[in-house]
Amino acid sequence: MKKTSTRLADGRELIYYDLRDDVVRDAPDLRPLDAAGPALGEVRHDVLLGDSVAIASHRQSRTYHPPADQCPLCPSAEGRLSEIPDSSYDVAVFENRFPSLDGDTGRCEVVCFTSDHAASFASLSEEQAALVLAAWTDRTCELSQLPAVEQVFCFENRGAEIGVTLGHPHGQIYAYPFTTPRTALMRRSLTAHHARTGANLFDEILATELAGPRVVLQSEHWVAFVPYAAHWPYEVHLYPRRRVPDLLALDEAARAEFPRVYLELLGRFDRIFGESQPPTPYIAAWHQAPFTTGGEPGATREDFALHLELFTIRRTSGKLKFLAGSESGMSVFINDVPPESAAERLREVAST
């Protein structure tokens, strides 16, 4: 992998990740952009719930469903200048022009998986998927060095139903200045379980699922399963067999095997509802340990288990799962698809 860091016309960082070492990336950004100003958003703490909310009103003006020939994530071409100055790329990462978090409140980046506007992550080759994994890992490392950053979250929103406003295959990275509420809940559960049993809760969950009916696929280094209390109609958790706290700690064997396993999972998601249905909308979310220790036994960085959660809001053909009163008002999910049935369906649509 070759990494090339440069700057866009307004000063934001752009990083190219290339498969070939002989690629030269020196095309300048010719757009007449004003220099990026001070952070426009803020993070406010909810003293009642104990969580944080990013206030980012400037995002109201972000690019919204542009036609394909005006996509800001495609490579630049004659008569059309984009966020990517070069005429092609393998993987490109840049600071979001409309960030939810910025400056002292963290950082937001866009990860373009390929220069092919018509592609998807599922259509990438294993070599391309491995390059995305390398980019996620490198950005986790780099962002962890920023003084304001406590946790790094790599994710992909796919599909207009999810709320995606740019059709180009891409994901995002949020570098938070705090531990996210979801991770804090996991840490509390880890600590409580360790206090009761002396064991690691992540390890026990994985062992229980391996012995049960909800395993979707497994390989030498990875296990994918539908969790016992799945929140979403079709939800898969992907764990490395060897517990590690973050992407940086994956060994080479797990890293090498990941593209094949993940691409198979994404392919199955697109086949859940039948070949005639439009691509399945989904969210793919990497859960990594925060860079603070957590303090209590059972909640240190080494106790946390890196894993990816992949889920769709489509509950059946032509119908979506909306977060209505119980979910949005009280955070109590109601799932229409039994996890065992979801796992069975995801096994049925295997590619081989």
Which domains does the chain carry?
A: 2-34+41-176 (3.30.428.10), 194-348 (3.30.428.10)
| pLDDT, mean of residues 73-82 | 96
- Give the pLDDT confidence score for residue 85 in this predicted structure: 98
Size (the chain), residues: 352
Phi, psi of 223 (to 5 degrees): -135, 130
| pLDDT, mean of residues 177-182 | 95
Mean pLDDT, rounded, of the chain: 95
| pLDDT, mean of residues 281-293 | 93
- Give Cα 43 to chain centroid, integer Å: 21
What are the tens digits of pLDDT across the range 50-72? 999 999 998 988 888 899 999 99
| pLDDT, mean of residues 92-105 | 94
- Strands 234-240 and 222-225, how do they pair? antiparallel
Proportion of the chain above pLDDT 90, given as a percent: 91
Residue 103 has pLDDT above 90, yes or no: no
Residues 6 or more apart whose Cβ sits within 8 Å of residue 292: 150, 179
CA atoms in the 13 A half-sphere facing the CB of 232: 16
What are the tens digits of pLDDT across the range 301-322? 999 999 999 999 999 999 999 9
Q: Is 170 a catalytic residue?
A: yes
Strand ranges (DSSP E) for the chain? Answer: 2-7, 13-18, 42-45, 52-55, 91-95, 107-112, 151-158, 170-176, 215-218, 222-225, 234-240, 282-287, 307-312, 314-316, 319-320
- Give the pLDDT confidence score for residue 38 in this predicted structure: 73
Residue 294 has pLDDT above 70, yes or no: no
Residue 296 has pLDDT above 90, yes or no: no
- Give the pLDDT confidence score for residue 58 in this predicted structure: 86
Contact 150, 179 (CB under 8 A): yes
Out of 45, 58, 117, 170, the active site residue is 170
| pLDDT, mean of residues 101-107 | 92
Tell me which residue of 131, 153, 185 sits closest to 286, measured CA to CA.
153
- Give the pLDDT confidence score for residue 283 in this predicted structure: 98
